[in-house]
DNA sequence: CATGTCTATAGTGTTGAACAATCAATGCAC
DNA sequence: GTGCATTGATTGTTCAACACTATAGACATG
């Protein structure tokens, strides 16, 4: 799914790398990123690293504190609530006005199939990625580059939450089949039904995530 | 409307300054920003300036070209179309689910009044700002920080378009009163009507802007 | 023992200079 | 006029330095 991107600048390369480490949980929320330490570890200069930090801060993955440096963002309950509010907002509107034969629908189907393969292989991280890809495809139905890129950011933050919650089988397992049902309704020319199901899906997922979050937060 | 922000970092200060220059038209779309020249002009080091560039590039005001530097973004027709698609998406959804006594409604009223004062004073830039503030307040009705900050970015790009088009009286004059009408409908507990009017407003505004753009583009 | 002040130290904020890599223009040969 | 090498300017990146801020530990005081 990801080809070797051509002439990237070093800062973007490093940004991609840190992004990976953050959403894979290697860098845990709240931890401090020392400019000196990280620059040595990644073999880049402090200045370049600071450019990277600015990038990732705008993406919402990192958080600045004046004279104290950058930290990995720590999603709170209100973060989760906001993310799902945005998701309902955008995904449902996109779905409601969708044409069944829109290219985005093809991507939705591809994502569903990937999710099933990954489930059979018990690759739960893959399932998570496929789930996110499915919903990104939903947003594509709106045909708006800006909306899609905004949604990509939201997805990043959501992955941060997922990393916090662990137990991806429990998180994603119940939702795979619902994506297929939603897609089927859309393909059969019933976008209104699909939209309704999507909203229900998102509300349920939000409660689900919030519950899991509360459970780990109260320790 | 803007107090003296306290302990900002230098990069953010400079970013704010360049932002001003871009949306005020002092830096015209397409022009090249030389790192050396600008750093001397703004009395900051190249490194700091590059941090700023990364910031503003993420905001969509600047555009990178590998090994060629940064340029002020040049909105195209598809940019305008996308911006208005997003606006209809977000503003209309926000309005449709709005409660008439939401704090955002107060900000809408304040913006309308500001717009009228500015019109009497023939301060057309002020009118433009107030118009944008009005619609930002509409988005506030959705109670989502992420949605609001995304919309703020879109507004920035829109201001870039406005700067390109000149003639702000012609641009904003016809739309002031419609904002008031929309607000009144909302306050009177008819959000559905307000939404309909808002969508019509946005469609008309889009055609309006596209027309003006086509006129200056064909020279 | 508790509390407040002071100082040392580690980390960030910012700068200036340096060098390699790349793009754009110039000039030259054909 | 076209193709090609040289040159100049600009970006990409690094490094070393210093001012400034915050945090922790030592110390004095009650």
Residues A131 and A48 in one domain: no
* In a shared domain, residues A20 and A117: no
CA distance A112 to A133: 9
Q: Give the whole-angstrom CA distance, residue B174 versus residue B115.
A: 12
Which of A:79-108 have CB within 8 Å of B? 82-83, 85-86, 89-90, 93-94
Clarify whether residues B133 and B206 are in a common domain. yes
Question: Helix (H, G, I), strand (E, B), or coil: what is residue A21?
Answer: helix
Judge whether residue A4 has pLDDT over 60.
Answer: no
- Name the DSSP letter for residue A190: -
Is residue A50, in this structure, part of any structural domain at all?
Answer: yes
Clarify whether residues A213 and A159 are in a common domain. yes
* Inside any domain, residue B166: yes
**Are A144 and A104 contacting, i.e. CB atoms less than 8 angstroms apart?**
no
Q: At what angle do helices B46-59 and B10-23 cross, to 10 degrees?
A: 50
In CATH, what number is assigned to the domain containing residue B147? Answer: 1.20.120.530
- Name the one residue in this structure whose structure tokens are 């990280």: A38
Print the domain residue range for B49.
10-72
- Going by pLDDT thresholds of 50, 70 and 90, the confidence category of residue A3 is very low
Contact, B43 CB vs strand C, < 7 Å: yes
User: In which residue ranges of chain B is pLDDT below 70?
Assistant: 1-7, 219
pLDDT of residue B51: 98
Q: Pick the more confident residue, A168 or A122.
A: A122
Q: Is B68 on the interface with A (CB under 8 A)?
A: no
Strands A69-72 and A62-65: antiparallel
Which of chain A's residues have a Cβ under 8 Å away from the Cβ of B55?
Answer: 54, 58
CA-to-C1' distance for A5 and D17, Å?
Answer: 36
Question: Which of B50, B72, B94 represents a domain boundary (last residue)?
Answer: B72
- Which residue, A135, A27, A36, A107, is CA-closest to A73? A27
Tell me what pLDDT residue A11 has: 96
Q: What is the SS3 assignment for A142-172?
A: CCCHHHHHHHHHHHHHHHHHHHHHCCHHHHH
Q: What is the CATH number of the domain that holds B55?
A: 1.10.10.10
Q: Compute the distance between CA of residue B130 and CA of residue B108 in angstroms, rounded to an integer.
A: 9
CB A141 within 8 A of CB A111: no
Residue among B124, B132, B159, B151 at smallest CA distance from B19: B159
Does any domain span residue B111? yes
Which residues of B fall within a CB distance of 8 Å from A9?
64, 66
- Domain co-membership, B207 together with B154: yes
> Is B1 inside any structural domain?
no
* The B69-72 sheet, strands edge to edge: B32-33, B69-72, B62-65
Q: Last residue of a domain, which of A72, A96, A124?
A: A72
Q: Could you give the number of structural domains in chain B?
A: 2
Q: Any idea which nucleotide's C1' is nearest the CA of A67?
A: C12
Does residue A210 sit in the same domain as residue A133? yes
Q: Are residues A139 and A213 in the same domain?
A: yes
B51 touches chain A (CB under 8 A): yes
The token pair that represents B31 in the structure block? 């022009």
As a whole number, the mean pLDDT across chain B is 92
Domain boundary residue among B38, B72, B106?
B72
- Do A118 and A137 lie in one domain? The reply is yes
The tokens of B163 are what?
A: 């700067």
Which residues neighbour B37 within 8 Å (Cβ) at sequence distance 6 or greater? none
Asked if residue B2 is part of any domain, the answer here is: no
DSSP codes of every residue in A99-146:
-TT-HHHHHHHHHHHHHHHHHHTT-HHHHHHHHHHHHHHHHHTT--HH
Tell me, yes or no, whether A1 lies in a domain.
no
Q: Are residues B158 and B191 in the same domain?
A: yes
Task: List, in sequence order, every residue forming a beta bridge with B64; answer none if it has no partner.
Answer: B70
* Stated length of chain B: 219
Checking if the pLDDT of A5 tops 50, the result is no
More confident residue, B2 or A146: A146
Out of B50, B85, B147, closest to residue A89 by CB: B147
Interatomic distance A156 CA / C11 C1' (Å): 29
Q: pLDDT tens-digit profile of B45-89?
A: 999 999 999 999 999 999 999 999 999 999 999 999 999 999 999
Are A147 and B85 an interchain contact pair (Cβ–Cβ within 8 Å)?
yes
Residue B72: strand, helix, or coil: strand
How far is B186 from B184, CA to CA, in rounded Å? 5
Backbone torsion region of residue B32, taken as left when φ is above 0, otherwise alpha when ψ lies between -120 and 50, otherwise beta:
beta
Long-range (24+ apart) CB contacts under 8 A made by A61-69 are: A61/A18, A61/A19, A61/A22, A61/A23, A61/A156, A61/A157, A61/A160, A62/A22, A62/A33, A64/B9, A66/B7, A66/B9, A69/A32, A69/A33, A69/A34, A69/A35
A143 with A179: CB under 8 angstroms? Answer: no
B147/A7 touch (CB, cutoff 8 Å), yes or no:
no
Nucleotide nearest to A68 (CA to C1'): C12
Same domain, B122 and B179: yes
Cβ-count burial of A14 within 10 angstroms (0-12 exposed, 13-18 middle, 19+ buried)? buried
Structure tokens at A3: 């080809």
- Alpha-carbon dihedral sign for residues A104, A110, A112, A114: negative
B58 within some domain:
yes
Residue B5 lies in a domain: no
**pLDDT > 90 fraction of chain A, expressed in percent and rounded:** 82
pLDDT in tens, A11-25: 999 999 999 999 888
Query: Is residue A189 located within the same domain as residue A108?
Result: yes
Chain center to CA of A80: 12
**pLDDT on residue A110:** 96
Domain check: are A173 and A65 in the same one?
no
Question: Are the C-beta atoms of residues A74 and A30 closer than 8 Å to each other?
Answer: yes
């Amino acid at each position: 799914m990801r080809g070797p991107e051509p002439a990237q600048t070093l800062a973007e390369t490093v940004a991609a790398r840190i992004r990976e480490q953050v959403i894979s949980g290697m860098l845990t929320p709240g931890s401090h990123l020392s400019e000196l330490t990280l620059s040595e570890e990644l073999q880049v200069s402090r200045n370049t690293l600071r450019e990277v930090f600015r990038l990732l801060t705008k993406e919402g993955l990192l958080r600045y504190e004046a004279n104290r440096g950058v930290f990995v963002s720590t999603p709170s309950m209100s973060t989760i609530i906001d993310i799902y509010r945005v998701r309902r907002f955008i995904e449902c509107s996109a779905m409601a006005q969708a044409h069944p034969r829109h290219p985005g629908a093809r991507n939705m189907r591809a994502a569903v199939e990937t999710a099933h393969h990954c489930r059979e292989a018990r690759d739960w991280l893959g399932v998570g990625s496929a789930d996110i890809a499915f919903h990104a495809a939903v947003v594509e139905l709106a045909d708006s580059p800006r909306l899609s890129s905004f949604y990509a950011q939201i997805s990043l933050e959501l992955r941060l939450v997922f990393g916090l919650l662990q137990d991806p089988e429990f998180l994603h397992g119940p939702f795979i089949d619902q994506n297929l049902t939603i897609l089927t309704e859309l393909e059969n020319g019933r976008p209104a039904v699909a939209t309704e199901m999507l909203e229900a899906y998102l509300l349920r997922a939000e409660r689900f995530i919030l519950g899991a979050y509360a459970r780990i937060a109260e320790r």
